[in-house]
Amino acid sequence: MPRLHRREFLKNLALVLAVRGLHAQPLPPRQIVPGVWFLEGDASKGYCNNILIEMRDYLVLVDANYPGRAHELLQIIPTISRKPLRWVFDTHAHRDHAYGNSVWTHAGATTLAYKSVVDEMNRWEPERWRATAAIRPDVRATGEQDVQRPEAVFDGPRFTLNDPGADGRVIEFLFLGWAHTPGDGFVWLPKERVLCTGDAAVNGPRNKLFDAWITNWPRVLDRALALQPLHVLPGHGSSGGAEILTGQRDFLLNLMRGVKAQAMQGLKPDQMHIHMKGPAANWVPTNPTSWRQDIETAALEIESGKPAGANPHVWK
């Protein structure tokens, strides 16, 4: 881009972001079922969604978010419930879900994740932390050089928290397989049929596929669908029902099918055009660069014969 145009572009972008920032009204916490609140993150700040779950004597938070949002939530949570926050669950290792970890442990909570979240952090950090700190004041302000690893991890398919008594709340932390990342954890409330998905299912074109196993991801979503959730609370975008899981799944299936067919015709990723019909079209990135990246990532998985995320790659 010529220098002048680029400067103009950046000025306009800054203006757009500033106006959006001025008008961005944080959505109020929304109670999904008694004792479960959905706290939608401000997408213009890169924040993910959070879910607050009230147990008999304590609170559980789904995702650590970025440090900036973690500090906001430290103010918001006591206005919802005065119980102490005991657990913060990282659904996966990505920065917008886990970089707030140290904020929560300093506040007295214990961070928890599926074990592969730590493996992922050990694989990619502290490079991603450093790159993010260079562009995000809230990460820089921690004064830390690396993401704090979750303090507690579970291995195997399930870790359960139970309130005492037959009518007490049950929370299941589930690992259903490698989908968006090798460490995706779901949070399932079997009595209320509420499912928190992290980025294994987002509502709309709000995902990156770099660390994914795109071929396995729909199988993971089928396992999630088999739970028959009434409420699906995604890592990004608004809440809904099982249609979030089927939409995310069909987008991935159509993407792989389309890329495979065009690769067979000898087309390179930058020559491919994938058309998505029906509800799955809602997951197609509106930004052409992001859509191109999705196609390239799918092509990489097909060509390499292994999960896209298992190939060396950089976060873009």
User: Is 55 or 62 the residue whose CB approaches Zn ion more closely?
Assistant: 62
Query: How many amino acids of this chain bind Zn ion (CB under 5 A)?
Result: 2
User: Is 94 or 249 the residue whose CB approaches Zn ion more closely?
Assistant: 94
Other residues' Cβ atoms within 10 Å of the Cβ of residue 65: 32
Dist. CA 92–CA 79, nearest whole Å? 27
User: Is 192 or 301 the residue whose CB approaches Zn ion more closely?
Assistant: 301
Dist. CA 274–CA 249, nearest whole Å? 16
Burial of 296 (0-12, 13-18, 19+ CB in 10 A): buried
Is 296 a binder of Zn ion (CB under 5 A)?
A: no
Q: Are 186 and 196 in contact (CB under 8 A)?
A: yes
Least distance to Zn ion, CB of residue 211, Å: 8
User: Is 35 or 285 the residue whose CB approaches Zn ion more closely?
Assistant: 285
Q: Are 222 and 199 in contact (CB under 8 A)?
A: no
The residue range among 33-41, 103-111, 142-150, 197-205 that interacts with Zn ion, by the rule CB under 5 A, is 197-205
Dist. CA 258–CA 272, nearest whole Å? 9
Is 231 a binder of Zn ion (CB under 5 A)?
A: no
Among 290, 287, 283, CA closest to 315? 290
Please say whether the dihedral angle defined by the alpha carbons of residues 270, 273, 274 and 278, taken in this order, is positive or negative.
positive
- Name which position in 63, 120, 199, 250 contacts Zn ion (CB under 5 A): 199
Is 94 a binder of Zn ion (CB under 5 A)?
A: yes
The residue range among 33-41, 58-66, 87-95, 293-301 that interacts with Zn ion, by the rule CB under 5 A, is 87-95
The residue range among 20-28, 199-207, 259-267, 276-284 that interacts with Zn ion, by the rule CB under 5 A, is 199-207
Token reading at 151: 């303090």
User: Is 94 or 169 the residue whose CB approaches Zn ion more closely?
Assistant: 94
The residue range among 28-36, 111-119, 147-155, 193-201 that interacts with Zn ion, by the rule CB under 5 A, is 193-201
* Binding positions for Zn ion, rule: CB under 5 A: 94, 199
